[in-house]
Structure 1
Amino acid sequence: MVEALKGRGYRVVAPTVRDQAIVYGDIDGADELPRGWGDVQEAGRYRLARRDDEALFGYAVGPQSWKAHLHPSVQRLWTARRRGDAVTVEAEPPAAERFAFIGVRACELKAIAIQDRVFLGGAHVDPYYQARREGAFIVAVNCGQAGGTCFCVSMDAGPRVEAGFDLALTELLDGEHRFLVEAGSAAGREVLAGLSTRPAAEADVAAAETVIARTAASMGRQMRSDDLHDLLLGNLEHPRWDEVADRCLTCANCTMVCPTCFCTSAEDASDLAGAESSRTQRWDSCFTLDFSHMGGGSVRASARSRYRQWMTHKLATWVDQFGSSGCVGCGRCISWCPVGIDITEEAAAIRASRADAVEAGS
Structure 2
Amino acid sequence: MTDSPGTERAVLDREGLGALVRELRARGHTVVGPTVRDGAVVLDELDSADRLPFGWGVEHEAGRYRLRPREDGAAFAHSAGPQSWKAYLHPQRLREWTADREADGRITVRAEEPARVSYAFLGVQPCDLRAIAVQDRVLGGGAYTDEGYRSRRAGAFLVVAECTEPGATCFCVSMGTGPGAPGDAAYDLALTEVVDDGGHRFLVRAGSPAGAEVLAALPRRPADEATADAAREAVAGAATRMGRTMPETDLHALMAGTLEADRWDDVASRCLTCGNCTMVCPTCFCTSTEDVGDLTGDHAERWRRWESCFDLDFSHLPGGPVRSSGRSRYRQWLTHKLGTWHDQFGSSGCVGCGRCIVWCPVGIDITEEAAALDREWSARTLPPTAPAEPADARGRPDGRTAGP
TM superposition score normalised by structure 2: 0.88
Separation (CA, whole Å) in 2 of partners of 1:280 and 1:271 = 14
Q: Counterpart of 2:314?
A: 291
User: Which residue does 1:142 correspond to in 2?
Assistant: 162
Which of 103, 116, 120 is equivalent to 2:123? 103
Map 1:265-304; keep pairs closer than 5 Å.
Answer: 265-304=288-327
SS at match of 2:222: coil
Partners of 2:144 and 2:318 in 1: how far apart?
27
The aligned counterpart of 1:113 is: 133
RMSD value, Cα: 1.0
Choose from 187, 194, 201 the match for 1:172.
194
1:58 Cα deviation after fit: 1.2
Summarize the alignment of residues 15-30 of structure 1 with structure 2, pairs less than 5 Å apart.
15-30=34-49
What residue ranges of structure 2 are gaps of 5+ in the alignment? Answer: 1-19, 386-404
Q: Percent identity, please.
A: 60
- Give the C-alpha shift of residue 199 in structure 1: 0.5
Deviation at 1:225, TM superposition (A): 5.5
For residues 249 and 302 of structure 2, what CA distance do their matches in structure 1 show? 42
Superimposed CA distance per residue, residues 16-61 of structure 1 (whole angstroms, 9 cap, x where no aligned partner): 1011011000111111111100001111111111112110011111
Could you tell me which residue of structure 2 aligns to residue 37 of structure 1? 56
Residue type of the alignment partner of 2:129 = L
Matched with 1:160 is 180
Partner Cα separation in structure 2 for residue 358 and residue 193 of structure 1: 58
User: Once the two structures are superposed, what CA deviation does each residue of 1:170-195 show, in whole Å capped at 9, x if it has no partner?
Assistant: 00001210000001111111111110
Amino acid at match of 2:322: V
Alignment of 1:296-335 (within 5 A): 296-335=319-358
- 1:318-356 CA distances to partner (integer Å, 9 max, x unpaired)? 000000000000000001100000000001011112223
Structure 1 unaligned residues grouped into runs of 5+ = none
Q: For the residues of structure 2 that align with 1:121 and 1:8, how far apart are their CA atoms?
A: 27
> Does the 8 Å CA contact 1:155/1:225 hold for their aligned counterparts?
no
| Aligned: 1:49 with 2:68 | yes
Are the aligned partners of 1:64 and 1:257 in contact in 2 as well (CA < 8 Å)? yes
Match of 1:219 among 233, 239, 242: 242
CA distance in 1, matches of 2:207, 2:253: 36
What is the deviation of 1:204?
1.5
Equivalent position SS for 1:111:
helix
Maintained 8 Å contact 1:70/1:132: yes
CA distance in 2, matches of 1:360, 1:226: 18
Q: Displacement, 1:361? A: 3.2
One-letter identity of the residue aligned with 2:73: E
Distance in structure 1 (CA, Å) of the matches to 2:272 and 2:28: 44
Matched with 2:368 is 345
What's the CA shift for 1:275? 0.9
Instruction: State the aligned residue count.
Output: 362
